[in-house]
Structure 1
Amino acid sequence: MVRALLGELSRHPWEPLADAAQTIALAARFGADRPMQAEDALAEEAIGRAITLMKQAGADDETPLPFAGLARLHALLRADPRFAPLERAVQIRSFGNRAVAIEQAATRTPLWAVDAALGRLLTASGAWARALPCPGAVTAQTLQPQLWPGERAMLAARSLQRSVTRLAELVAQARRRAVLMREQLGHLRSSARAPQVWILLAGFAPLGLDQITWAFGISRRGTYAIGDALVAARMARRETVKGKALLVVEEPGRDGQPASLDQATALPHAALAEFDAAMGEIDRLLAGSSGHP
């Protein structure tokens, strides 16, 4: 599922989302841990089918509200064998001289693929400007065949509201973090990698030095300079987990005393100067070789 989602988002038309997916794929190396297997193909097929259903449900509406399109989408999902809710399974087991019926939970359908593609429907109706994924917007509960149309509409609207509210909270959090990042790291040169690394730490997960090297194409020495800058700015801390050194995000100013720019620049000055010099040398080498194949 993770492979399929990152592959789809890596081709997203909104460049910031595509870049983020590609960076996460490099940092986590989801494509290098094992060869492709059958479930990978099933996940990709689920996303492909979800996109097809979005196109079928996304007919032009008179208003930018997406509810008519959502109703069409739910009808298509209920009729599709891949996404329609499954019945609970019952197995008969023998225990001694008695036969016992054991009810098992129904198999989960890949509704995550529908959530990933739902932004296409919302942009087709004019409700959204960007076709962002909507985690949790489509649930198996809304696809139950016994629901009345009004019940289904209410459940679908509530699920979409929760998903959109969560996205709005993430946007607000990202804006606050962007302001903090400019305050704490705005003194760095424009090509510095520390802000990019902090964005990934804050939005994805703690990272090891190798992961930072893979994701951003920098040397091991450069990762130390980045770590020093983030730790000095109190935007990250170093931890050792099972013998592996990790950078873990810190929210600046959470104790009411944000680190000053003087603190951020004084401690790692030598390391940052060395890192900037190395980056400048790389820039000169690239400029000198731009005319050669």
Structure 2
Amino acid sequence: MGYTTNDIARIREKAREIRRDSISMIHLAGAGHPGGSLSAADLIAALYFKELRIDPRNPQWPDRDRFILSKGHCCPALYAALCGRGYFGREQLETLREYHSMLQGHPDMRKTPGLDMSSGSLGNGLSCGLGMAMAARWKQKDYRVYVLLGDGECEEGEVWEAAMAAAHHHMSQLTAIVDINGLQLTGPTQEVMNLGDLAAKFRAFGWNTSEINGHDVEQILRALDYARETDGPTAILAHTVKGKGVSFMENRVEWHGKAPSDQEAARAIEEIMRA
């Protein structure tokens, strides 16, 4: 597909907007997961504002690319991207987690236009993505499937069952992106359950791998190009910073699932927008 310097600049700006909107949404809701939303912002911006073949005017277009946010608790970043692409108006962002809102605390495909899977039960996304990719093959469709996982999520055994099956069936239309921010709910991933070398693990399961800085837009786009042009399933191992862009949230486990106060939200948005 290729990319230009204008693409890179635009994605950086969109990632900034995703971070700003994520903080604002979580602050208004009084609950949510800022750390992982901020770490994934650059990855989601690259997908929604460059990579994915989608049509906001026709969310159920049969030939669209599919995206699954397997780490569904980080949905504020996804909702911000969907809004930015025109799936719904900005007024909806102010309703995060409200009872009748289309924007629930975990993605609900019955409520939110543009979603391909209701997610949040960690470990399920890659299996569902594999099923979508297999359906594309059987239907002789060329759409691609992208699954964004957390590194803590990769402690789930189902992830590796799906990885084994995807390699066995040579699912070239499937790409897994792992947001490796090093922290999960109860502490550092290497202390909760040491994952070791995730790239080596995916290679051992028969996947192509690409290891990148998950905040470097050019590296992200290059990895997505590689995934599209390579035979077999591809895993992009994206090293990120939890809470990226907000100094007092970066690499702090307590910001995994906590809403900022009025003062904290104002400071966070100021830091994001001047970065």
How would you bin the TM-score normalised by the shorter chain? under 0.3
Higher helix share: 1
TM-score (norm 2): 0.27
**Looking at CA atoms only, which structure, 1 or 2, has the larger radius of gyration?**
1
TM-score (norm 1): 0.25
Higher RCO, 1 vs 2 (CA within 8 Å, ≥6 residues apart): 2
